[in-house]
């Protein structure tokens, strides 16, 4: 079953026969990974939209929730976990604080730092959304067998680890 990526690769093969099969196979794989990200992002994010959240806001709430009691991290630790710039983190925290989902306060042990804590409303929201979120992701992956999902997970983990070294 051919897809749009096969068409693109076929065009390159016709126009640039000097590009080798391995290079074109790499192009196809990265093309599919890119398309997958484009297609999957709104399908994953629809759960958050139903709850009045952006994906990035959910990510912050989830990081705080996963950290365990007292559901508190510094903005720097959050930014590191979510691979964000400090400015992007500040923007997300501003929105979440305005919505009453997190509180920020000075760190009593380091007056140059802040602490971000889930509010009871933020905890209730993330706990309510995460179940729906993982069910949605499970459904999106249902086109693959359990064995295929497991193999894909191992392969993607290896690819990510290899790319992190570059």
Q: How far is the C-alpha of 24 from the C-alpha of 30, rounded, in Å?
A: 10
**CA-CA distances (angstroms) from residue 114 to 7, 76, 105, 111?**
52, 9, 5, 8
Q: pLDDT, tens digit, for every residue of 124-142?
A: 999 999 999 999 999 999 9
pTM of the full structure: 0.86
**CA-CA distances (angstroms) from residue 109 to 4, 76, 106, 153?**
56, 15, 9, 40
Give the model's pLDDT for residue 119.
98
Give the model's pLDDT for residue 2.
86
What percentage of residues in the chain have a pLDDT greater than 70?
Answer: 100
Q: pLDDT, tens digit, for every residue of 79-114?
A: 999 999 988 999 999 999 999 999 999 988 888 889
Q: How far is the C-alpha of 144 from the C-alpha of 117, rounded, in Å?
A: 38
46 CB-near residues (< 8 Å, 6+ apart): 136
Give the model's pLDDT for residue 9.
95
* 30-37 long-range Cβ contacts below 8 angstroms, 24+ apart: 31/5, 32/3, 32/5, 35/4, 35/5
Q: How far is the C-alpha of 118 from the C-alpha of 126, rounded, in Å?
A: 9
Strand order across the 102-107 sheet? 72-73, 110-118, 102-107
The tokens describing 6, both together, are 């096969």
């Amino acid at each position: 079953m051919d897809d749009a990526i096969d068409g693109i690769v076929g065009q390159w093969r016709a126009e640039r026969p000097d590009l080798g099969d391995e290079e074109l196979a790499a192009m196809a794989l990265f093309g599919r990974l890119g398309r997958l990200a484009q297609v999957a992002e709104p399908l994953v994010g629809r759960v958050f939209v139903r709850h009045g959240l952006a994906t990035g806001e959910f990510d912050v709430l989830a990081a705080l929730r996963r950290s365990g009691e007292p559901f508190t991290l510094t903005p720097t630790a959050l930014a590191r976990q979510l691979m964000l710039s400090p400015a992007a983190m500040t923007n997300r925290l501003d929105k979440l604080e305005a919505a009453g989902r997190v509180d920020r306060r000075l760190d009593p042990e380091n007056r140059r730092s802040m602490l971000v804590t889930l509010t009871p409303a933020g905890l209730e929201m993330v706990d309510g959304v995460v179940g729906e979120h993982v069910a949605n992701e499970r459904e999106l992956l249902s086109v693959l067998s359990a064995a295929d999902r497991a193999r894909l997970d191992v392969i993607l983990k290896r690819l990510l680890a290899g790319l992190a070294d570059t």
